[in-house]
């Protein structure tokens, strides 16, 4: 429309300009008019073609709409037929179920009992070490447990025999071939001795049964040692009673024993602080050992010196004090007493040496244990902040360190305190003996 208005305006302008233009411009106006007429004709043709396309599309869309309406009506009719058939089938199914219940009577309750018993027995037999070579028994019980139909008499007898077999196997000691995974990870077929459902041995090694693979695995750490005589009797099938460790829980207790840390593993849980406490204890014990040996030797020599005061020897404190007293016999009593006291004072440090350090170590050990407790709690809180409290095993490392270091500190400190008291008492005994003899020498000098 805008184009036609533009052309009309141009035409009017051209006509108006024709009254004032020269005769030479008349040809150009004719050409302009001709182009305008051609453009109008092309626009009219285009409009007619578009109108024809729109009418054809309208007819096609009406035909498609009629087709879809017919399909919807057909599907609605089919849905009504299916609903009617479904309702009929539901009614027939209810009638059949009622008829089945009427015909089965108490057999339906028996069927449920058989299925539940078969499922429970299948799970029990599958986890039993006696089922390592009895896969068909487990498969039969699983089939009965998943069955949707009433079992026949033959299957009921088979389930009864499986139950009897499981009961008998709990009290048998048998030798059989089974898949065994050694401690190095190699799997092979080997002869084992199975004691009911409570233990299995491959040679002298206890085995753990894995139901998933129907195989036995050598325990990484043996809970007890089996002597050669018992092993020979088991392998030979000697009748009678044998002393042997079994697991009534079918592997749970032995698994706990295997997971129980040894003393060395307990010490490793203490970490650096734990080893430091042990080093403190070792130093304290070394001091006690050296000092007790020294004091014992000094005590023996002093006793020997007491039996022979006339012949003083310099290998003991009393002999050295007697030598000082003999060398100062010519001095006046006051000077002699002073020299004897000085000799006694010189001997005292040798008799009490190490007591202060031992007392210090006895006091440091529990403090180191407290330090280990703090470090362990820090490790525990770090684990909680990183992993949360969902898995207690993630916190066990820090808690173990805290408890082990505390225990080590007390274990080291308590004996060191007793040994310090014993060492101090031994030193006081020798000191009192030396004081008594020096006092006697002083009295003799005054007389």
Residues 174-189 have pLDDT tens digits of 788 888 888 777 888 8
Q: In the prediction, which pLDDT does 223 show?
A: 74
- On whether the pTM is more than 0.75, the answer is no
pLDDT for the residue 107: 63
Of 407, 346, 348, 329, give the one whose Cα is nearest residue 373.
407
Residue 25 is classified by DSSP as: G
For residue 353, what is the DSSP state? T
Q: Which residues of the chain have pLDDT under 70?
A: 1-26, 102-108, 227, 236-237, 328-334, 336, 391, 439-447
Q: Report angle CA 293, 298, 299 to the nearest 5 degrees.
A: 100
Q: What is the pLDDT of residue 2?
A: 43
Q: Two tokens at 188?
A: 């092979």
Contact of 344 with 358, CB cutoff 8 Å: no
pLDDT at 22: 47
Query: How many CB atoms sit inside 10 A of residue 293's CB?
Result: 10
| Confidence at residue 366, expressed as pLDDT on a 0 to 100 scale | 92
What residues contact 266, with CB distance under 8 A and at least 6 apart?
404
Compute φ and ψ for 177, nearest 5 degrees.
Answer: -95, 135
pLDDT of residue 1: 47
Q: Please tell me the predicted confidence (pLDDT) of residue 20.
A: 46
């Amino acid at each position: 429309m805008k184009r036609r208005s533009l052309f009309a305006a141009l035409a009017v302008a051209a006509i108006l300009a024709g009254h004032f233009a020269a005769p030479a411009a008349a040809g150009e106006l004719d050409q302009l008019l001709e182009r305008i007429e051609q453009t109008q004709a092309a626009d009219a043709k285009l409009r007619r073609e578009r109108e024809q396309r729109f009418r054809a599309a309208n007819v096609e869309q009406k035909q498609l709409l009629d087709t879809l309406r017919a399909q919807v009506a057909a599907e609605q009719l089919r849905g009504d037929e299916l609903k009617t058939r479904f309702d009929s089938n539901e009614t027939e199914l209810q009638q059949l179920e009622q008829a089945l219940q009427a015909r089965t009577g108490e057999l339906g309750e028996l069927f449920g009992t058989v299925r539940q018993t078969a499922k429970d027995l299948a799970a029990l037999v599958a986890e039993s070490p006696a089922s390592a070579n009895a896969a068909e028994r487990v498969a039969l019980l699983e089939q009965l447990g998943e069955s949707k139909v009433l079992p026949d008499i033959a299957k009921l007898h088979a389930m009864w025999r499986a139950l009897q077999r499981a009961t008998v196997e709990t009290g048998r000691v048998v030798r059989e071939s089974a898949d065994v995974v050694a401690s190095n990870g190699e799997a092979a077929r080997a002869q084992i001795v199975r004691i009911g459902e409570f233990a299995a041995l491959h040679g002298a090694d206890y085995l753990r049964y894995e139901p998933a693979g129907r195989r036995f695995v050598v325990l990484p750490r043996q809970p007890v040692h089996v002597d050669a005589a018992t092993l020979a009797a088991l392998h030979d099938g000697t009748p009678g009673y044998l002393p042997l460790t079994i697991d009534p829980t079918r592997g749970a207790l032995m698994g706990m024993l295997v997971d129980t840390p040894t003393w060395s593993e307990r010490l490793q849980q203490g970490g650096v602080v734990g080893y430091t406490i042990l080093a403190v204890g070792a130093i304290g014990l070394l001091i006690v050992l050296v000092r007790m040996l020294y004091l014992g030797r000094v005590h023996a020599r002093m006793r020997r010196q007491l039996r022979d005061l006339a012949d003083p020897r310099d290998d003991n404190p009393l002999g050295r004090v007697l030598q000082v007293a003999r060398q100062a016999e010519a001095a006046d009593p006051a000077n002699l007493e002073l020299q004897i006291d000085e000799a006694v004072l010189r001997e005292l440090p040798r008799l009490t040496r190490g007591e202060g350090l031992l007392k210090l170590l006895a006091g440091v050990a529990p403090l180191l244990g407290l330090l280990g407790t703090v470090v362990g709690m820090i490790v525990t809180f770090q684990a909680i902040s990183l992993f949360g409290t969902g898995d207690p095993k993630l916190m066990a490392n820090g808690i173990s360190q805290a408890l082990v270091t505390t225990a080590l500190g007390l274990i080291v400190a308590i004996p060191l305190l007793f040994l310090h008291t014993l060492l101090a008492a031994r030193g006081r005994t020798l000191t009192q003996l030396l004081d008594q003899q020096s006092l006697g020498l002083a009295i003799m000098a005054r007389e």
